[in-house]
Amino acid sequence: MRDAYIVTSVRTPGCKRNKGAFKDTRPEDLLSFILGAAVEQTPNLEKEAVEDIMVGCAFPEAEQGLNIGRIASQIAGFPIGTSGATINRFCSSGLEAIAQSALRVMAGWADVAIGGGVESMTYVPMGGHMPRPHPEWTQLHADMYTSMGITAEIVAERYNVSREEQDEFACNSQMKAAEAKSKGLFTELVPTPATRFTQTPDGTFQRETVIQDVDDGIRESTTVEALAGLNPVFKANGTVTAGNSSQTTDGAAATVIMSEDKVQELGVTPIAKFKCYTTIGVHPDEMGVGPRFAIPKLLKLAGMDLADIGLFEINEAFAAQALYSVRELGIDMEKVNIHGGAIALGHPLGCTGAKLCATLLANMQATGAKYGVESMCIGGGMGAAALFELCG
């Protein structure tokens, strides 16, 4: 099997649902922009050379429906011959898209492919517009449809993750993200056009385009004391609050993957090899424990140990589940989410897996970490994890 080389991995900013910079920007526009930017940042690559584009999206309906992977690629100016698909594995959809694109290259079915993700939680709310759970199945297995916040409460209670630990973890996420923002360390972020409508004196609305160049959900003034004052939002007398949960966010990301032959032909310097990917199922009522089981499975497949891994990006769906997974596996917290996570930067569902890939690779380049692992829990009771090897 051939090697799959990642040559470019970029993301838009993550912006707050309904209140952020992308609240008036359609998801097709976010995705088409970052797809184009990924090609533009890859030396000597023309859009005509991209054979297929796979895009993760957790709720592919309404503005995100009708195969946004194909539609957005056409909006971005890729030729008719470049095919596109939309992939849904909820929170790991973007990583699933990258993995499947990498597999095409590894199998010899393509020399250039793009994997990415998009989610506008402003346009399509979590759960979608018309959720319709199976009525008889729900009576027996309501846990399959359990609120993600309730699953976080279950993890916190079942595995003794205290409110104080969650708030401290959340504050650290905000502080790391704030520092990275102030120092310009989000090198994977591409300033992105954002649409906004402003009211004119005559009462009509005018459409404008501005450039958004930062994640707008970071709260630089966060303190543990302030977080401790927030009320629980999912369970009376619970421990999960808005402050120690991920932010609902809009965003998009894209990763260009090539075969070794194409890398040499174009004279491109690759960032990393996509080495391994796996998923695993867990009980739906504690879906947040997914990384706890996905990471060991990944390392066993790769023949590696935790000590071999220099950096981790573990999605912070909730502080409770991220903290539990890190603690249970014995991962050094200094290696985890070094520039903050979804509590500060947002969790744009189907985009997150692609977004974290871009962040992880940028951080591996900056620190020289040879191996990096990305992992997340997944709604419905799953976990996913991927292994990357830095080139050079």
- Angle (CA) 220 27 212, round 5°: 40
pLDDT recorded at residue 369: 98
Type of residue numbered 346: G
* Cβ–Cβ under 8 Å, residues 290 and 64: no
Q: Which residues are catalytic?
A: 91, 347, 377
205-212 vs 5-11, strand pairing mode: unpaired
Helices (H), 141-252: 148-158, 163-182, 224-228
What three-state secondary structure class fits 270? coil
Backbone dihedral angles phi then psi of residue 205, each to the nearest 5 degrees? -115, 140
Residue 58 half-sphere exposure toward CB, CA atoms < 13 A: 30
Who's near 211: CB < 8 A, 6+ residues apart?
191, 192, 193, 194
Q: CA 12, CA 252: separation in Å to the nearest integer?
A: 6
Q: CA 289, CA 325: separation in Å to the nearest integer?
A: 6
- Angle (CA) 83 361 372, round 5°: 110
Q: CA 56, CA 94: separation in Å to the nearest integer?
A: 4
DSSP state of 287: G
* Cβ–Cβ under 8 Å, residues 350 and 265: no
Phi-psi region of 159 (alpha: psi -120 to 50; beta: other; left: phi over 0): alpha
Who's near 332: CB < 8 A, 6+ residues apart?
none
pLDDT recorded at residue 198: 87
Query: What is the pTM (predicted TM-score) of this model?
Result: 0.97
CATH number for the domain whose boundaries are 5-124+246-386: 3.40.47.10
> CB 234: neighbour CB atoms within 10 A?
18
| Parts of the chain with a pLDDT under 70 | none
In 3D, which of 254, 344, 323 has the Cα closest to residue 40? 254
Who's near 239: CB < 8 A, 6+ residues apart?
153, 156, 157, 161, 162, 163, 166, 232, 320
Rounded to 10 degrees, the C-alpha dihedral 82/88/93/95 comes to -50
C-alpha gyration radius of the chain: 20
In 3D, which of 346, 39, 72 has the Cα closest to residue 214? 346
pLDDT recorded at residue 392: 82
pLDDT recorded at residue 199: 87
pLDDT recorded at residue 303: 98
* Cβ–Cβ under 8 Å, residues 306 and 331: yes
